[in-house]
Amino acid sequence: MTALVFDCDGVLADTERYGHLPAFNATFEKFGLPVRWTEDEYAAKLRIGGGKERMAALFDDPAFAAAAGPGDRTEKLLTWHKAKTAAFRELVAAGKIPTRPGVSRIIRDALAAGWTVAVASTSAEESVRAVLANAAGDAAAAIPVFAGDVVPAKKPDPAIYRLTVAELGLDPAGTLVVEDSRNGLLAATRAGLTCLVTVNGYTRDEDFTEAALVVSELGDEDRPPIEVLANRGRARPGAYLTLDDLRACLGGPA
């Protein structure tokens, strides 16, 4: 059985720029914390896997630790992250984070073709399900989600993909992962899975040597043609990606 596993952030939607960054900053303001991340600063933070982990790294600055005040750091991080997740979900509900081109079409076509479709992300599960609901509509309820702290290590550790394969009984040779970052690519390939990369503004210049196919987006009929940045497989994409292109990434008919 063929399976298609999506990452969430940067893949289903451009959540980092239009969702997580403003949600982090809104949370910092809400709790009176002396930090506001610019887009460039946040690009550097993305090298740290996981939202709570990005917040935890702030304590490396003694001035921030002093401003955060006394008390248990773990409890503070949980409180801040809960508020940040709520702010993120409000942005999703308000339509501030549109689904990336081609995602809804590919999900619909894959389900119609009998493929297993799943989402594997180390972001908070509530956030992932909110983004998925936007992307997949009513079909979202039938799509398994593996997210949050279900594994002990964040990407590039392969744990989240190994869990997804094991829980769903997937054939690694027939499973294609869609990622947007080098950390995600490494997590997928270290789990023995083939990976297609759709870049975004934060990740376009990263090293995707291990990817079967690297494109600017999945594309749609009413969009400008996609840009193919690297192709190491049998896919021969046209103006947008189709299920045939995804099969070809797995070594199926080109």
Would you call 7 a catalytic residue per the annotation? yes
Active-site residue among 9, 157, 180, 245?
A: 9
Rg (CA), the chain: 18
Beta bridge partners of 119: 6, 145
Query: Of 12, 13, 11, which is closest to residue 197 (Cα–Cα)?
Result: 11
Would you call 149 a catalytic residue per the annotation? no
Query: Of 55, 49, 48, 47, which is closest to residue 74 (Cα–Cα)?
Result: 55
Give the residue numbers annotated as catalytic, written as ranges.
Answer: 7, 9
